[in-house]
Amino acid sequence: MTVDDVMELAPVIPVLVVDKVSDALPIARALVAGGLRALEVTLRTEGALDVIREMSQVEGAVVGAGTVVTPQQLDAVLSAGAKFIVSPGTTQELLDIARDSDVPMLPGAVTPSEIMAMREEGYSILKFFPAEQA
């Protein structure tokens, strides 16, 4: 799977902050039923890895992890079942480990320099982040 494949799954990728693991399955089922198969679960809650595990069980769901900022988080989300990752920015270490793992990564960028650097790394699709501040 590539980032292009993930982007073709739905017109938008919902960014999910799920506080209660018990909400994971109903949310994923509803989104998939509504035609949104790519689901980004942010790592902003204590139960995020469990939410990824739960949502990954839903037929048709392609669950990714957002707010991935370290190689340790990358390893953890892949073990939880994430099929793609989204990062608010990048470091060379994160780029290297993502490339080595073959996981599709959608890096965040907002400045022309960040965008140019990601193009040099081979990325043609980026997350415009943080959009609200920009």
Instruction: Give the residue numbers annotated as catalytic, written as ranges.
Output: 40, 127
Contacts of 7 (CB under 8 A, 6+ apart): 13, 38, 125
In our burial notation (b when 16+ CB lie closer than 10 A, e otherwise), range 112-126 reads eebeebbeeeebeeb
| Residue 97 DSSP label | H
Q: Are the CB atoms for 29 and 54 separated by under 8 Å?
A: no
| Cβ 75 vs Cβ 52: under 8 Å | no
